[in-house]
Structures are given as structure tokens and as C-alpha cells.
Chain A
Amino acid sequence: MGILTKALTTAAIATALMTGGAHAETKRIALVVKALGIGFFEAANKGAQEAAKELGDVEIIYTGPTDTTAEGQIEVINSLIAQKVDAIAVSANDTDALVPTLKKAMDRGITVISWDSGVAKEGRLMQLNPSSSSLIGNTIVKLAADHLPEGGDVAFLSATTTSTNQNVWMAEATKVLPNYPGINVVATVYGDDLADKSYRETQGLLQTYPNLKAIIAPTSVGIVAAAQAVTDAGKIGEVNVTGLGLPSEMAGHVKSGASKSFAIWNPIDLGYSATMIAYHLSNGDAKAEPGAEISMGRMGTVKLDENTEGAMADPFTYDASNIDAFSSIF
């Protein structure tokens, strides 16, 4: 950075700070992300800007460290405290390391919430989870059922037998199965989150169950490997691969038709909701306490549990119509 640029930046920051003071009625909400330059968080910022526009009197400060470290985030948060922002919404790099700094922020009257990746209870007013296990469990079955009007055999391709997330999601999915008549789960296999084992397990499924209509893989490694195995077996159109995956990783398989649709949380909605919640909490028109319901604009409301955590929504469904827009984001 040349001296001139430095001087200009300083001037710009100074002006920004002064104007910030002048518009005291404008809420300044800081969106602190794990690191700058990550597509997922850039998309969340997009959502936050959308919320700011809708609310009118909100200015978003999108910031974060240059690499995903807790130290970097602490530094960023300290500078936000110095700037006296109204609210901080953070996706944390460490559950515990940020707590003292965030406590300091709350002591100064700043509204602190965490979203996506949470911080410990004492370091925030509430945590916004992208979704909940029961919503995810329901969504993955629905994804398969939507393309099987007459029902049919489906199988789960999971990560390892001991993966907590996947096991909880599949247990929730099994609970809602009675709501989807005709959907018949014939097997659950484990690809251990290895591309080759997942591929082999999928081939095994295709051989063992010739009538298989869908494979549900709630794991990003598994869904890609299963889609490739179905493509190689020439069963595109016969067997639909669905589950949880990332748009950038699944784009090719959605275009080839191996996967008609899949789901994952939508970062735009997440940034939008986090901003809405931070705004309402900071304004005092909502309180973060167990059982409270906080409005999230177009996303409805979030209900907090005894740990003051809440789930935003069903995972967002991606298909041929929107995959291109999202595959460049994350």
C-alpha cells in the first residue's frame, strides 16, 4: 500500500466514522464471517444487504479475518466494539475462544448473536442454526418422494456408521416415512465419506436392488460419488440421486440428470435472517429468551429452544432451474 492510498483509506474511514455518528438513528449491524473471500459468506452478505434494504435504516458492515482463525475474529470484533456498532452477528471459528471478547461487546450494549457456526451460550444472545435435524430428515425424504409420485424403493448412502449428524438425520427421516406412502427404504449403506467406497456401495445397491428408484445421500462426498456411479452404470433417469450436497460440487450431476434435485442451507437466506434477528433484538422489539419467537421478515419466525438456539428453515432445494446461479457461490 502506497502512502497516498494509506492516507486516502484513513480519510475514508474517518469520514465513514463521522457520518456514522451523524446518522445516529441508522442501525449498524456487523456481519462477522469465518474469513473473507469465501463464496458461502459472500452470499450471506448478499442476503444481509437485502435485509438492510428492506429495513431501510440499517447499514451492514461485512467483515472478518483473512484466514479462518479465532484470533483474527477477536481482532475484528475488538475493532467493531471500538467503532460502537449496534449489533454483531458472527459465524465463529471457535466455539469458546470468542466468548470473552463477545461478552465485552455485550457489556457495552452491543447485541451479539451467532449464526451458522455458533459460539457457547454465554457469549451470545442466541444462535441461529441453518436448519434442524428434524427439518433435514424430512427434507431428504421429501426430495426423493417428490420425484416418485407412485412411490418406490429408495436407499440411504451415509457417511460412516458412527457419523453423528448423518445418523440423527436418518433417524429423523425414518420417523417421517409414514407421511410418504409408497416410499420404501430397502437399505442403508455406508460409504465412510470416501469417494471410492461410496462409489462401490452405490454399485452394490444398483446390483442388489434392480428396482431401486432413488438414493438418498445426506453427505457431500457420498452424493457426488453416488451420482457418478449411477452415471457410469447408465441408470440416469432410472435412479435419482438426492440428499445433501454443495451446488458447486453437484452442478455437473444436476445437468446430466443423475440428480434431479438436492438440498443444503441457503447462505443468502441465512445472512438475511441473521440480519433481521440482530435488528429486532437491537431495537428491543424482541427478546432472546427460551420459547421466544423472533421475526425474520420473508423467512417467517424463528423459535428459540432452552439453549436459545433456533432453526431457520427447511434446507433449500437446488435443481436445474437454480443450480447455475448458486454453483458459482459455494
Chain B
Amino acid sequence: MWKSREAILALAVLALLAVIASRFPAFILPGNLARVFTDTSPLIILALGQMVVILTKCIDLSVAANLALCGMIAAMLNGMGVPLPLILLIVLALGAALGAVNGLLVWKVNIPSIVVTLGTMTIYRGVIFLLTDGKWINAHQMTDGFKAFPRTSILGLPVMGWIAILTVIAVAVLVNRTPLGRAFYAVGGNPHAAVYTGISVGRTQFVAFVLSGALAGLAGYLWVARYAVAYVDIAGGFELDVVAACVIGGIAIAGGAGSVTGCLLGALFLGIVKNALPVIGISPFWQMAISGTAILIAIAFNARGQGPKGRIILKQAEHRA
């Protein structure tokens, strides 16, 4: 059944491309598709982290703030002359640490994840302001190497796109081929049963948050280097796009169900819509409505695909009572 849902989504993506091509043929040239994929890379990377968190029945609303904070720190480190490989390691570690804060609060203090991450979302944005006094770091304050890395083209696709592909593969292996990956599904699918099989629910959720945080940290560097600017509000509201990509991709918000392919397709769907709307000459006043409708339709499809509800087997007993 999973396969067929992803097939439907893949068809939807192709149909979308066909509609766009009918109005703006140049959109589906290979070079442009590579550009769209690269543009969607941060969304893909964050959506994969979010997927793992959602699988464990949690949600991470702090990803965009985490991205902004790590991006700002990356830009500041660059200004201090720290070499790029070290910056990459630091943003990964910092992102993971910020994710760990979420994870610990969910695991040890038992606060619902939506509350925890709403709180840390504001805190992380606040920290950027404290670090910078609201000042921007601009293109000319970043070294050329810092800005060039995500743009460097390998086999026609910029490094940023390759990083997204590598992340997809790594998360796919993690989720499908390791005990930890199965634990994510078990914890979200049936927490009580997971405990009986010896899986610590809280610990698994913690690991999911750390993973999501680390990916957000990585995306933070990519974002800042690509747009060549860092300030408090970068990627404002992006967490909602990330959650939307997961939902479109068929990741069950109740946890325990979803696939990497679905998540990838969900992110691509949103990414294509975002990139296509400016070129097919639709009034900007309609753009948000169109994005919203696409999300609702996708979710309606997914809800239908949830399968039949449980049967009431004691109807008679119910009547008697």
C-alpha cells in the first residue's frame, strides 16, 4: 500500500511538471530542473530530519530557528577566519546540541514536543539577536570560499544538491536498515508495545531531535552561503514549509508511518510549486492560495489512503448497555 501512495505522489509531481511545462516549457530543461532541485535542497534536508521526529510522535518547530542560528554562527566563524571544514563540523555539532536541548526537555522533563519547540524556536531566534544586535552579515563580509562551496558544480549539479542526495541516502539507510530506524517507527506506531520490546521511548525521541537538529545546522550553513546574507529573520516561517512537505509526503502526523521516498517527493512537490509560480505568470495575490490548496489536496489524498477504520465488533453489547 505504501508503494502505491508514493506512486500517486510521484504521478502528481510529474503532472505538476507537465502543467508547468505547458505554460513555460523552459522549466523542464535539465539545467533548470537541477536548479529547482538545488533550491529545494534545504527543504529536503530539513524535511528528512522532521520526518524522523514526526515518526516518533513528536514535532520539531524549532528547525528554522536552529537553521538561522547555526547559519549566523557559521557566518561569524567565517569572519574570524575559521577554515570551512571546521565550520561544517561546528554547525553540525551545534545544530545537534540545539536539537539535544529539545530532546532532553521532551525526554527528561516530559513536556509535549510542540510546546518545547515553540519555546526553543523563539529562544534560538532571540540568541541570534543577542549575538548580533540585529546586525546583518553581508556578502562582502563572507569569504569567497565560504560562498562558493555550495555552488560548486559537480556533474552539472551544485554541491548543495549533492549534499541533499547524500542526506536522502543516509537517512534512508538509517531508517530502513538499522535497529534505531525500526525503533523510530516502533515508538511512534505503538509506544507501549515499544517499551515491552525494550525500546526506550524518550531516548529514541531524543535521538530523533538530535538528528533533526544536526541536519538543521548543516542546512543553516548552506542557506547562509547560498543567499550570501545572514540576519535574525532568515528562513522565517520555514518550519511550516518543512512540516507541510512531510504531510504532503504522507508522513502520518500521529507518528509511526511514513517513508523517505514520500518525504522526498513531498519536499520536491512544494519546491516545484514555489519555483514555478514566479515563472508561469500567476498573480502574486493567488500564490499563497495555490500553495495552500495543493497542501490540502495532498492531505485529503493521504487521509483517504489511511485505510478502513477499525470495525466495531461488539455492536450488540453497545446496544444492550
Contacts and interface: CB of A to CB of B under 8 A. Distances in A.
Interface of A: 161, 188-190, 194-197, 199-201, 203-205, 207-208, 224-225, 227-228, 232, 248-253, 255, 327
A232 B278 CA distance: 17
A22 B39 CA distance: 68
A207 B31 CA distance: 12
A208 B136 contact: no
Contact of B35 (A161, A203, A227, A255): A203
B24 interface: yes
Given A200-B39, A205-B278, A228 B140 contact: no
A224 B138 contact: yes
Contact of A208 (B24, B141, B234, B284): B24
A203 B227 contact: no
B87 interface: no
Contact of B26 (A195, A196, A207): A207
A199 B27 CA distance: 17
A225 B227 contact: yes
Nearest to A232: B151
Given A161-B284, A196-B223, A207-B27, 14 more contacts: A188-B284, A189-B284, A190-B284, A195-B227, A196-B234, A200-B275, A201-B278, A204-B277, A204-B278, A204-B279, A207-B26, A228-B227, A248-B138, A252-B228
A201 B141 CA distance: 24
List the 6 closest pairs (A to B, CB-CB), nearest first.
A204-B278, A252-B140, A252-B139, A195-B227, A190-B284, A204-B279
Contact of A195 (B229, B278, B281): B229
Given A200-B39, A203-B35, A251-B140, A228 B279 contact: no
B24 A255 contact: no
Majority SS of interface residues in chain A? helix
A248 B278 contact: no
B5 interface: no
B203 interface: no
Q: Which of B141, B238, B284 has the most CB of A within 10 A?
A: B284
Nearest to A208: B279
Nearest to B227: A195
B24 to A, nearest CB: 7
B196 interface: no
A225 B278 CA distance: 15
Nearest to B284: A190
A225 B231 CA distance: 13
Secondary structure type dominating chain B contacts: helix
Interface string B281-317: 1001100000000000000000000000000000000
A310 to B, nearest CB: 29
B227 A199 contact: yes
Interface of B: 24, 26-27, 32, 35, 39, 136, 138-141, 151, 223, 227-229, 233-238, 274-275, 277-279, 281, 284-285
Contacts of A250: 138
Contact of A255 (B140, B234, B236, B277): B140
Nearest to A67: B133
A100 B75 CA distance: 44
Contacts of B279: 204, 207-208
B196 to A, nearest CB: 45
A203 B141 CA distance: 24
Contact of A200 (B151, B223, B274, B285): B274
A255 B228 CA distance: 15
Nearest to A254: B140
Contacts of B234: 195-196
Contact of A249 (B32, B39, B229, B237): B229
A251 B274 contact: no
A189 B275 CA distance: 13
A228 B35 CA distance: 15
28 contacts: A161-B284, A161-B285, A188-B284, A189-B278, A190-B284, A194-B233, A196-B235, A196-B238, A200-B275, A205-B278, A207-B24, A207-B26, A208-B24, A208-B279, A208-B281, A224-B138, A224-B139, A232-B151, A248-B136, A248-B138, A249-B138, A249-B229, A250-B138, A251-B140, A252-B138, A252-B140, A253-B139, A255-B140
